[in-house]
Amino acid sequence: MPACHTGQINYHGQQIRIEGGAARHDIEAFQHELSKALMATATDDAKRARFARRIAATGAATGVDLAERFRCYLKAVGEDQAFLQAAQAGSAEAPTPAGFGRLDAHERGVNLFLSAPLREPKNYVPETAPVSFPALWDTPYFDWVLYNAAIRQPLPRNVIEALGVQGPIRHETIFEPRIAHNLDMDKIVAGQRALNDLKSPVWPEAILGLIDVAKANRGKDLYDRLCVRCHQLIDRLSHAPRDRSSGAAGDIIIPTFDLQSIGTDPRQAQTFERRKVTLSKIGGPAEIASYRAGELAAGKISKQWIDESPANARRAEEINFGRPHEFRALLAYRARPLNGIWATAPFLHNGSVPSLYQLLLPASQRSKVFYVGNWEFNPETVGFESDSPFEGAYKYDVSLPGNSNAGHEYGTDLSDDDRKALIEFLKTL
């Protein structure tokens, strides 16, 4: 989770860590550079010896044939990449680069879990629906998670994420009575458990400036009139409605809105709902929805671990809170509470709007091109500086598949003073 869900903003030389916020790295670029570094280490005796010394210094097991390990690893990675490149060459649509702070988690996850390992080109699709890494505060208490409210129980949701980033599994056992895998279930559970007490960040007035209380109070009136119907208010400091000590369910019920009514880029929900895979090579059905395949594998792995001991069952319940195991595919997006929203730019599920100020403008007036990768924060517009290109920036082009900045035209007819008042209130959440 720290890799994708530790955010940061900079302001006039100050750095502010956002625990549970969106990381700002480019995973695709990182993996490319990591592969180059591994290849250089594998083929250079001096670099490999230095790597071996550093491993030994950590107290890890020695006596491993690193040259052979590198050879096997790079062979497997090379074969996977060659397969995916060939599959993409046969596709009619090009992938949409994710850039900083985004990933097409579903499409990429299925490609890495059920296409490349099975050498099954039918299971490949281009990654054209990148989404922002979501903020994690309060998510253990959401009734459903993911932008399209697709997964209900936390443990299988974390298991399928691990499989989607190539967690080790013997695919040929998925339809056997017991799935063979090497996922570290203890760490998966511990990571989710740590989120139970994560609270949304407070606007740091000492760094970003004092909140104008009178303006924020006027903004709250606007929020109550325009926003609260969809985005309920959550007290970040209290436990309500998160408190389960009394036996109450404690779920935060997140409303969902169909694609037509919300009007934002539909690809994430559509690809999740429509994608089919074949599992006939491993004894499964000739066609199954990809999310159903994930539901099956993640559910079996979770149940195997739970059934191993009463202690595992208790630990699972500490994060599952009695929710049933269920995946679904709505053609809709959720509207989560907005506490901490100020720390989650850029906005909308696909990161297509650079600031809160622009989000409250009609879509026709929002930036069609902006630049992502700058950590310098603008407390007036509430977003990262993004107008000018810079070395290493990701050029966000809203005309690319999955990148539309249309929709969510709520509060877009406000006067500029009212728009700023509403933003001032959003800083207080």
For residue 37, what are the domain limits?
Answer: 27-88
Report how far residue 346's alpha carbon sits from residue 350's, in angstroms, rounded to the nearest whole number: 8
- pLDDT of 246: 39
Kindly tell me if the per-residue pLDDT of 62 is higher than 60: no
Look at the block and give the residue holding tokens 């959720």: 334
Q: Which among 55, 71, 88 is the end of a domain?
A: 88
Total number of domains in the chain: 2
Question: Taking residues 75-97, what's their average pLDDT?
Answer: 92
Residue 387 has pLDDT above 50, yes or no: yes
Beta-carbon contacts of 114 under 8 Å, excluding residues fewer than 6 positions away, are 120, 123, 171, 277, 279, 290, 293
Name the domain boundary from 88, 112, 134. 88
| Span 147-195, pLDDT tens digits | 999 999 999 999 999 999 999 999 999 999 999 999 999 999 999 999 9
Look at residue 60 in the predicted model and tell me its pLDDT.
67
- Residues facing residue 7 across a β-bridge: 18
Question: Which whole number is the average pLDDT over 310-314?
Answer: 97
281 within a domain of the structure (yes/no):
no
150 located within any domain: no
Domain assignment present for 375: yes
Q: Is residue 81 located within the same domain as residue 216?
A: no
Which of these three, 69, 88, 107, is where a domain ends? 88
Q: Could you tell me if 81 and 89 are in contact, meaning their C-beta atoms sit under 8 angstroms apart?
A: no
Q: Is 63 part of a structural domain of the chain?
A: yes
**Sign of the dihedral defined by the CA atoms of residues 319, 322, 323, 325, in that order:** positive
Kind plus residue range of the DSSP H or E element containing 349 = none
**Cα–Cα distance list, 113 to 64, 103, 170, 175, 268 (Å):** 28, 15, 11, 15, 18
Same domain, 82 and 225: no
Q: How confident is the model at residue 49 (pLDDT cuts 50, 70, 90)?
A: confident
Q: Residue 290: inside a domain, yes or no? A: no
Answer left, alpha or beta for residue 398, where phi above 0 means left and psi between -120 and 50 means alpha: alpha
pLDDT band at residue 41 using 50, 70 and 90 as cut-offs: confident
Of 155, 139, 178, 177, nearest to 22 (Cα)? 139
Asked if pLDDT for residue 399 goes beyond 70, the answer is: yes
Q: Cβ-count burial of 256 within 10 angstroms (0-12 exposed, 13-18 middle, 19+ buried)?
A: middle
Question: What gap in Å lies between CA 110 and CA 279, rounded to an integer?
Answer: 12
* pLDDT higher than threshold 70 for residue 245: no
- Residue 57 has a pLDDT of 82
In a domain, 84, yes or no: yes
What is the token pair recorded at 379? 């407390």
Domain for residue 60, yes or no? yes
**177 found inside a domain:** no
Plot region of 197 (φ>0 → left; ψ -120 to 50 → alpha; else → beta): alpha
Q: How open is the CA angle 313-315-316, to the nearest 5 degrees?
A: 65
Residue type, 118: L
Together in a domain, 212 and 65? no
User: pTM of the full predicted structure?
Assistant: 0.91
Q: What is the mean pLDDT of residues 109-138?
A: 96
Q: Alpha-carbon distance 239 to 198, whole Å?
A: 11
Question: CA 80, CA 76: separation in Å to the nearest integer?
Answer: 6
Residue 63: pLDDT band with limits 50, 70, 90:
low
Q: Which two tokens stand for residue 211?
A: 């909140």
On the 0-12 / 13-18 / 19+ scale of CB atoms within 10 A, 372 is buried
Question: What pLDDT is attached to residue 74?
Answer: 83
pLDDT band at residue 58, thresholds of 50, 70 and 90?
confident
Contact 336, 189 (CB under 8 A): no
Distance CA 180, CA 159 (A): 14
Q: Out of 61-75, 143-157, 218-232, pick the least confident.
A: 61-75
| Per-residue pLDDT at 78 | 86
Q: What is the mean pLDDT of residues 279-291?
A: 98
Q: pLDDT by residue (tens digit) across 345-379?
A: 999 999 999 999 999 999 999 999 999 999 999 99
The mean pLDDT of 34-58, rounded to a whole number, is 85
pLDDT, mean over the chain: 92
Q: How would you classify the pairing of strands 369-372 and 394-397?
A: antiparallel
Query: What does the DSSP assignment read for 180-238?
Result: -B---HHHHHHHHHHHTT--PPPP-HHHH----HHHHHHHHHHHHHHTTTTS----SSS
Structure tokens at 114: 């059920």
